[in-house]
Structure 1
């Protein structure tokens, strides 16, 4: 069974350079299984692999204060590269392997790493939970040492505009791990976390990989991100198990016609966009498990949670996180700006990060309700329209599987529908649910949404219109 809440003290004195990796992430009984990536990986084996990768980095010229970019798919090689870079005292930048050559080139030009670790060959395959890849370490001419104390650099999703470079310090990562350790219903020592979210993004990286290593919960990467592959990963162990993923993965699991009852599956926890009520009901009733939600950002990690599904849509701020709502916008207290390089100076002011998320705060209960992106609220003929409400109304229509609503000269909607459904009559059905001024001027049906590297639907109107034109041409 898991340890009582508060038993594990994850924040420890930060040692020089990368010693925190040994002290926190690689410590423990060498025979204990730390990871399951196609097979069990003991702590002793993980330490050996990290040491070997660190030697490769140092042979290529990496030293304390240096910089390395990791452009690898979720894999044991990716995990060891991240840990080895930190152990060497370097700043590690994570680049999603799904970035195009053009996108990757732009990212590398912005962060100027000294080394890049990348796959030797092309990475192919869909719905893979992890890959087996051979890697190479490439020194870059013109690469620069770290210009800040950040040990981790990540790029924002870019779903609504250009990506931002976001930095996390060792202290920031340790503070987030401590927040997870204090969450009563998050997995604890002796339990299992089946990580569906990518380990190159904040939820899978910190909430899954790093937390599991630091807190003693076994981290599982399933072979396939299909219903069968996920459930096989759950069934492979008897320990209490939590799924950690995103709402679209919850929807896939909820769509299974006759899901098996797995007594070890305690709950699924999702981060990212809101979970549709119909999906919540199908998942919880189908699997007999709880569905928890978290609100967070790449800039800070987990911010607020409802891990049991009992207070949603209200979320309790995570331990140590201070939020307030000003003019409908959620503000988050942070000790320093998380952005690296040029950025909007109005995003972080006087210790408060303007999240650009709309929300409300119940003063009586302290619960935070996240209402979607602030830029989703537009004016139509002098009347306020929340595009998130229009999206929710579309998603409530039978057969609609995804929806994105944007505003230009008018409201435009883009949807995908289930194979068994028809797009005929969508506009008429929507007319019974929304006032005329809220209805989309145009409604496009796409075979699939263009997505960011993190898997989120793109919300750039021009890209969506191009996808609609392409679909119409086909």
Structure 2
């Protein structure tokens, strides 16, 4: 990996900047020929088919008024359709914004008010439908608009600290920047796992396409299912969110090691999981806000590291600066991370309400990330936490990342997530240790005011983009507590030491009278269990059915 360590850190501008994005896409598709470039479920599309289809679609978009500066809303369910529509939109000179159909109508209306779409893709696509019209434009490429590096390529809405999503505008130069990093691509197939409305999909789709890779559509459920090992063996490059990396590195380390290049990031890395997997394949810990185009720093995992896994150095094309509270550069020490360079956004679409997080230092424009980092003298960066993850508990400031790191170091804890819920500090964890043991362990290493309420959960729920789903996590904690109570009550009523998930209540020696006793006791505790389920289903199924 080509990295630099000066302060500030800068890199090359990108080898593709002198070729417009539409032409680069066309050349990549024509070079692919009849090779499959997109594989999704039962569908596959060759380079020839994708080039011809998107050429026709681009012509129709232009006839409908789409062009440079215009934004096309993409609302299709099928991810293959989304990929086709994204490429057609860019070839028409316009920008795209993926707006999932699952979004509430109010949110969709807010997004469309902000982007004023010139066209909305909603219907399923038929590649065959367009191929018949492709011959008419086979030798007519002159109509394709010439795109400039400063043209708007896409709009992504991110969560705002004010509660109002912010519309991040990324230019073509950002796509060139992320695609012109050969160290981020390996082999012939890249997995497409990220939700289409998140910027990691830009790396997977456009970066993969422009680097000559086949894009293979994957989903989280498939990777964690019994057939997940086979799916992992089918890709050469794969980006995973931190939580998903933790899960796969623990559950299927040999299968994940078959992937030639694994990138992971998005949340605080778990040092034990990284150490356990390090050396099995090429592993990159990556970091970058949406506002700076997907990835800004990377660290090839190697050598010794402490409990805080480094996020590395700036990748080529990015410029990083660490500043103290006074805004002065930090050569060695802690401060806020600023990021500039080719991936820097054009700005928020509604800067009047979203604010302007871009600042200028010594004539260079930077995005103020709000992330605290530690910088070594050689420029190596380590993420310390976000300013907005500092919460107040009884008047004291507590960093949720610190609580998570302390919990992750305890024996018997696999994963841990800290949250501030209704004014109360909570830590959710998976593992074999009991809640009392974990709380005692935290008491031994944390100040009294930062020791949370500890709740064991059976899993850490993830959002569609693979990050921790805090809303579902609270519900999972309630469900797990109820499941634990069911098993504990069964053991007490039947006077058995163990009640395995795989056996039924009857197989443990229970009868209808004992079952009624269990149901009655659980009802008093506010846990509802059907007596017929208890008598006929495995205990684990009864618990999950609650």
Partner of 1:338: 347
Map 1:41-440 to 2 at 5 A.
41-54=45-58, 57=61, 62-73=66-77, 75-118=79-122, 149-157=151-159, 161-178=163-180, 180-181=181-182, 183=183, 186-188=184-186, 190-206=187-203, 208-222=204-218, 224-226=222-224, 228-236=226-234, 241-256=236-251, 259-260=253-254, 264-284=258-278, 288-301=280-293, 302-310=295-303, 312-327=309-324, 328-334=335-341, 337-342=346-351, 343-345=353-355, 347-350=357-360, 351-363=365-377, 365-378=378-391, 385-397=398-410, 398-399=412-413, 401-406=415-420, 412-417=425-430, 422-440=434-452
Aligned partner of residue 22 in structure 1, secondary structure: helix
Does residue 1:32 correspond to 2:32, yes or no? no
- What is the CA distance between 1:306 and its match in structure 2? 1.1
Distance, in Å, in 2 between the alignment partners of 1:21 and 1:191 is 17
Distance 1:29 1:455, change over 3 A: closer
Please list the CA deviations of residues 296-343 of structure 1 after superposition, one character each: whole Å capped at 9, or x if unmatched: 111112110013444742501111211111122111125665311134
| Cα RMSD for the two superposed structures | 3.7
Count matched residues: 423
How far 1:454 sits from its partner (Å)?
Answer: 3.2
Q: Which runs of 5+ in 1 are unaligned?
A: 1-5, 122-131, 135-147
Distance 2:75 2:385 in 1: 30
Return the alpha-carbon distance in structure 2 between the equivalents of residues 372 and 256 of structure 1: 27
Query: In 1, are the aligned partners of 2:435 and 2:454 still within 8 Å (CA)?
Result: no
Moved more, 298-307 or 335-344: 335-344
After TM superposition, list the pairs within 5 Å mapping 1:9-28 onto structure 2: 10-15=15-20, 18-23=22-27, 25-28=28-31
Q: Give deviations 1:258-288, integer Å, cap 9, x for gaps.
A: x546875323111211221222234347xx3
Partner Cα distance (2:237, 2:96) in 1: 28
Look up the SS of the partner of 2:385 in the other structure. Answer: strand
Asked if the contact 1:414/1:446 (under 8 Å) is kept, the reply is no
1:413 shift after superposition: 1.3
- The 3-state SS of whatever aligns with 1:322 is strand
Aligned 1:446-461 pairs, distance under 5 A: 454-457=465-468
TM-score (norm 2): 0.67
Tell me the distance in 2 between the aligned counterparts of 1:277 and 1:35. Answer: 34
Deviation string, structure 1 residues 66-113 (Cα, Å, up to 9, x no partner): 321112346211100101111111121122444333333332233221
Structure with greater helix share of residues: 2
Measured at CA, do residues 308 and 32 of structure 1 come closer, stay the same or move farther in structure 2, by a change above 3 Å? Answer: farther
Q: Deviations over 1:404-448 (max 9, x none)?
A: 333875x51141535x665454322321232213212x4455677
Distance in 2, Cα, partners of 1:430 & 1:160: 32
Q: Rg: which structure is higher?
A: 2
Q: Secondary structure at the match of 2:31?
A: coil
Separation of aligned partners in 2, 1:157 and 1:337: 18
TM-score normalized by the length of structure 1: 0.76
Q: Deviations over 1:44-78 (max 9, x none)?
A: 12213323443554576545543211123462111
Who is 1:3 aligned against?
Answer: none
**Displacement of 1:249:** 1.7
Paired position in structure 1 for 2:522: none
Distance in 2 (CA, whole Å) between partners of 1:172 and 1:261 is 33
Q: Residues 222 and 230 of structure 1 are in contact (CA less than 8 Å); yes or no, is this contact kept in structure 2?
A: no
Q: Is the 8 A contact 1:155 1:166 kept in 2?
A: yes
Q: Secondary structure at the match of 1:249?
A: helix
Contact 1:153 1:168 in 2 (8 A): yes
The whole-number CA distance in structure 1 between the counterparts of 2:396 and 2:234 is 54
For 2:202 and 2:179, the matched residues in 1 are separated by 11
